[in-house]
Amino acid sequence: MQQEFRKMVKLLSILWIWVFCFSQAGWAHRLSVTDVRGSTIRLSPKIHKKALPNALPTIHLTELKPFLNDSEVLENDYLATAPYVIAYSGEHIIGGPGEYVYVKGLVHPQGKHFRIYRDGGPYLDPKTHEVLGFDAIYVADAKLAQKGNPAALMITKSSMEINTGDRILPAPPNVLRPYYNPRPPKHPVHGQILRLLGNINQAGGHQVAVISRGHADGVRAGDILNIYEEKELAEDPLMPGQYERLPSEQEGSLMVYRVFSHVSFGLILHATGVIRTKDIVTYP
């Protein structure tokens, strides 16, 4: 019995005997512990980090850039009165990097860097027909080569053939983030796809959709939205003249990367079906 008792004492001498005590100093309270030797150890609060389950990984801009589009959404129809291309240098009509175009109306240029756009018309709300913004389709980047009216611009980058009548605006500041944190929206979102950039009628993954929700609706860059096909009405075969709305089916998801006042650009991350204009974007 005594031998077993000695073993127990030895074991307890190895272990820490924690005594929690609070020592009050003025208004402050400190947490401390005391070991078997009587020494007091003060404890300090620490942040314990723990990974969130199912957290979405950060997406860097370098991974997204090949799929993004430099078009803009303008609050007003600025393109209607902006300077415009009237001719090309030589016999070239494509207007690739290093070639020149002549621009009428660029009388008092602010800066040297410009962007060439094509008027894409207004974005209209599918239900109210309210104007949500004006589509400025990106065509090319250019640098002022010679002042005058017409002025000469040298093309530095282009995405498509430059047409006479294309409009000129000062190059906008870079608003793309170096990385994006995909996340659910902070508020419920329910909108529709207004257009698919690139003058296409249907899309799959890694293409850009313009949706009918923006800053004013609480949309933020990085928000993930689900895409649903809006089914048509089906006539009840046993009750002629009565129609039922078929349930929507999820077709994919997109991540918002640029947000304007009433519309946003979203990159389609994955698609299980064909995505079209008028499809629903929503969360939850």
- pLDDT of the chain along its 284 residues, tens only? 445 545 444 443 443 333 333 334 444 445 555 555 666 656 566 655 555 455 678 899 998 989 999 999 999 999 999 999 999 887 656 667 899 999 999 999 989 999 999 999 999 999 999 999 999 999 999 999 999 999 999 999 999 999 999 999 999 998 898 999 999 999 999 999 999 998 888 999 999 999 999 999 999 999 999 999 988 899 999 999 999 988 888 999 999 999 999 999 999 999 999 999 999 999 98
Question: Can you name the residues that pair with 180 across neighbouring β-strands?
Answer: 59
Structure tokens at 17: 């005997």
| Long-range contacts of residues 20-28, Cβ cutoff 8 Å, at least 24 apart | none
The CATH number of the structural domain formed by 182-283 is: 2.40.10.410
Say which amino acid occupies 252. G
The answer to whether the CB of 155 falls within 8 A of the CB of 142 is: yes
Of 256, 68, 81, give the one whose Cα is nearest residue 174.
68
Q: What strands lie across the sheet with 21-25, from one edge to the other?
A: 21-25, 28-34, 40-42
What stretch(es) of the chain map to CATH 2.40.10.410? 182-283
CATH code: domain 72-170 is: 2.40.10
